[in-house]
C-alpha cells in the first residue's frame, strides 16, 4: 500500500509513551485502533478524533483477544499494520519473583503478542498484505542482571517473530522486531520506581519521538529488525561474537541495576 493512502493500524499498549509518540506522528488519514486496558485513559490522552478508535480488551484473556480481532475485521475489513506494543517490566533478583508475577509478565509481554500476531497474521496472509511490528527490547538480545523474567519474555517474542517472518514470507506479510534500549516513558514507573537505573543509563536513553519516527519510517517495508540505539546495537553484535567476555562485562562493568 502506498504510504499516502489510508491505512488501518492497530496498536496495543496504546496508553504508553512510545505508542503516544507513534500516534501523534502518524497522518490523520490513517485509521488508528488503539487498545488499552483503560478506555477512559485513552480518551484523556488523545481526546476525540474521527480517525481514532478506542477499545479495551483484556489481553490476558485468549477469548477476548480473538473477539477483538474479529470485531476489528468486521468493522474495518483489514489491518495493514499491527503494532504489538503492550508490555511492562520489573527489575529485581530472579528469586524475588512470585510465580503469578512471572505469569503476568509472560501473559502481557509474550502470549498476547503471539496471539495477536497469529490471528492477525493469518488474516493478512489471506489478503497477501500486511506488516506485523513487535516491540521487543534490547533486553531480549542482551541479558542483564535483575531482568531475568523481562529478558525471557522478550527473547521469546524475538524467537517467535523470527520464525513467523519465515512462515509469512511467501504471503507477502512482513514481520519486524523493534529492539530499543531504555526509552524515556512511563515504563520505568513500575520497572524502576526510584529512578536510579534510568539515571545510570542516561547516555543510552532514547527519546520516544525518535524511536516512533524510525518505526513509522519502516512501516510497510521488509525490515527484519530495528535495534536502537547504535551503541547498544554494536554491543549486541559483540555479545554474539564474544559471549564469555560480554557476560563478564555485563556482570562486573555494565551492571547498572
pLDDT tens, 121-154? 999 999 999 999 999 999 999 888 888 999 999 9
Residue 21: pLDDT above 90?
yes
Go through the chain and tell me how many residues it has: 257
The share of the chain scoring above pLDDT 70, in percent, equals 83
Query: Which residues, including other chains, have CB under 8 Å from residue 79's CB and lie 6 or more apart?
Result: 8, 9, 10, 33, 72, 73, 120, 123, 124, 130
Q: Check whether 253 has a pLDDT greater than 50.
A: no
For residue 155, the model assigns a pLDDT of 97
Cell 483477544, residue? Answer: 65
pLDDT of residue 149: 96
pLDDT single digits (tens) 162-203 = 999 999 999 999 999 999 988 987 775 675 566 665 566 566
Whole-number pLDDT of residue 3: 47
Which residue is associated with the grid cell 484523556?
44
Angstrom distance (rounded) from CA 68 to CA 141: 31
Pick the CATH number of 8-252 from 3.30.1490.100, 3.40.50.720, 3.30.470.20, 3.40.50.300: 3.40.50.720
Check if the beta carbon of residue 23 is closer than 8 Å to that of residue 1.
no
Cα-based distances in Å from 228 to 195, 213, 218, 225, 234: 21, 12, 14, 10, 10
Question: Between 242 and 58, where is the model more confident?
Answer: 58
* 64 or 205, which is more confident: 64
Residue 187: the pLDDT is 72
Read off the pTM.
Answer: 0.88
Q: Tell me the three cell numbers of residue 252.
A: 562486573
What DSSP string runs through the chain?
--TTS--EEEESSTTSHHHHHHHHHS-TTSEEEEE-S-HHHHHHHH---TTEEEE---TT-HHHHHHHHHHHHHHHS--SEEEE---------GGG--HHHHHHHHIIIIIHHHHHHHHHHHHHHHHT-EEEEEE--GGGTS--TT-HHHHHHHHHHHHHHHHHHHHHGGGTEEEEEEEE--BSSTHHHHHSTTSHHHHHTGGGPBPHHHHHHHHHHHTTS---EEEESHHHHHHHHHHHH-HHHHHHHHHHTS---
Other beta carbons within 10 angstroms of residue 156's beta carbon come to: 18
pLDDT of residue 2: 47
On whether the CB atoms of residues 153 and 110 are closer than 8 A, the answer is: yes
The predicted model gives 96-115 an average pLDDT of 97
Q: Flag whether pLDDT at 24 surpasses 90.
A: yes
Active site residues: 150
Dist CA 80 CA 219 (whole Å): 9
Hey, where are the domains in the chain? 8-252
Using the predicted structure, report yes or no on whether residue 248 has a pLDDT greater than 80.
no
CA dist., res. 78 & res. 5, Å (int): 14
Question: Would you say residue 95 has pLDDT above 50?
Answer: yes
Q: For residue 5, is pLDDT > 50?
A: yes
Rounded to an integer, what distance in angstroms lies between the CA atom of residue 257 and that of residue 198? 9
Most confidently modeled range among 110-114, 196-200, 227-231: 110-114
pLDDT at 70: 98
CA dist list (Å): 170 to 108, 113, 252:
29, 22, 45
Q: Comparing 90 with 71, which gets the higher pLDDT? A: 71
- Overall average pLDDT of the 51-69 stretch: 97
Amino acid at each position: 500500500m502506498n504510504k499516502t493512502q489510508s491505512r488501518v493500524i492497530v496498536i496495543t499498549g496504546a496508553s504508553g509513551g512510545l505508542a503516544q509518540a507513534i500516534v501523534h506522528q502518524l497522518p490523520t488519514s490513517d485509521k488508528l485502533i488503539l487498545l488499552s486496558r483503560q478506555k477512559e485513559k485513552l480518551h484523556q490522552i488523545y481526546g476525540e478524533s474521527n480517525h481514532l478508535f478506542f477499545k479495551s480488551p483484556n489481553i490476558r484473556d485468549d477469548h477476548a483477544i480473538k473477539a477483538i480481532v474479529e470485531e476489528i475485521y468486521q468493522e474495518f475489513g483489514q489491518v495493514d499494520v499491527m503494532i504489538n506494543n503492550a508490555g511492562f517490566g520489573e527489575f529485581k533478583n530472579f528469586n524475588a519473583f512470585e510465580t503469578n508475577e512471572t505469569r503476568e509478565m509472560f501473559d502481557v509481554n509474550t502470549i498476547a503478542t503471539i496471539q495477536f500476531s497469529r490471528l492477525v497474521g493469518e488474516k493478512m496472509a489471506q489478503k497477501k498484505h500486511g506488516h506485523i511490528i513487535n516491540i521487543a527490547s534490547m533486553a531480549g538480545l542482551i541479558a542483564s542482571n535483575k531482568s531475568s523474567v523481562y529478558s525471557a519474555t522478550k527473547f521469546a517474542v524475538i524467537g517467535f517473530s523470527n520464525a513467523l517472518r519465515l512462515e509469512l514470507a511467501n504471503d507477502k506479510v512482513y514481520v519486524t522486531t523493534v529492539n530499543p534500549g531504555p526509552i524515556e516513558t512511563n515504563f520505568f514507573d513500575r520497572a524502576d520506581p526510584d529512578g536510579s537505573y534510568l539515571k545510570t543509563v542516561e547516555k543510552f536513553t532514547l527519546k520516544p519521538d525518535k524511536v516512533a519516527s524510525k518505526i513509522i519510517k519502516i512501516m510497510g517495508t521488509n525490515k527484519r529488525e530495528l535495534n536502537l540505539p547504535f551503541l547498544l546495537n554494536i554491543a549486541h553484535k559483540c555479545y554474539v561474537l564474544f559471549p564469555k567476555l560480554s557476560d563478564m562485562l555485563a556482570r562486573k562493568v555494565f551492571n547498572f541495576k
